[in-house]
Structure 1
Amino acid sequence: MRKFETLLLLSPELAADAREALLGTLTGVVEREQGKMVAADHWGMRDLAYPVQKHMRGYYVRLEYLAPGEAVAEVERNIRISDGIFKFVTVKLADAVEEVA
């Protein structure tokens, strides 16, 4: 298992319940791929340095999870086909992390 972090920039027009449903879907994908969600930090609404899809504000969420390397491709595939996600970036935080029960 490796430790990954994915930062999402969500549409400011996305309702709170739609955001939670979207994050629930991504959590389900991680767990389906034999991973484990460690943290989901809601950074909230922030101003953007430049317009993204004609918006100057966006809602940021940081996901941290343990998963095999192949799971990242599936998570990113689900992000790409989801409406309401403007941008995302995934970073590997650590190799070979031992899962604490």
Structure 2
Amino acid sequence: MKDYELMVIIDPTTPDEEIPNVLDTIKQNIAAHGGEAGEPDASPPWGRRRLAYPIRKHNEGFYAVLRFRLSPSESRNLDRDLKLNDRIMRFLITRTDK
């Protein structure tokens, strides 16, 4: 298993009380693919921020970072699951070195 970091931008129309549910869904997706997810970091400087350019006609989004471990063969499946989540506007998965 390799270490990864996921940065996600959540749709700003998502109510603030729903943000933890969206992050829990992401953690469940990671676990479903045999991975281990840490706690998401949505504290400052993350959280609700202005975007550099509009995405889906929105000028802001809710940023969060999540570190996790996953088999490299499962990263494509996780990528597909994240693309299917309507609440996620953009995401980036990067491999981290320990």
In which range does the TM-score fall when normalised by the shorter chain? 0.7 to 0.9
Task: Read off the aligned partner of 1:30 and give its amino acid letter.
Answer: I
Confirm or deny: 8 A CA contact 2:30 2:36 kept in the other structure: yes
Q: Which residue of the partner structure matches residue 29 of structure 1?
A: 29
Q: Determine the structure 1 residue equivalent to 2:41.
A: 41
Write out the 4+ residue segments of structure 1 that deviate beyond 6 Å after TM superposition: none
SS of structure 2 residue aligned to 1:79: helix
What is the letter of the counterpart of residue 15 of structure 1? P
2:79 maps to: 76
Distance 1:72 1:17 in 2: 28
Gap regions ≥5 residues in structure 2: none
Structure 1: gaps (5+ residues): none
**RMSD (Å) for aligned C-alpha atoms:** 1.5
- Report the count of equivalent residues: 95
Alignment match, 1:18: 18
Q: 1:52 aligns with which of 52, 55, 59?
A: 55
Please tell me whether Structure 1 or Structure 2 has the larger radius of gyration of its CA atoms. Answer: 1
Higher strand share: 1
- What is the TM-score when the length of structure 1 is the normalising length? 0.84
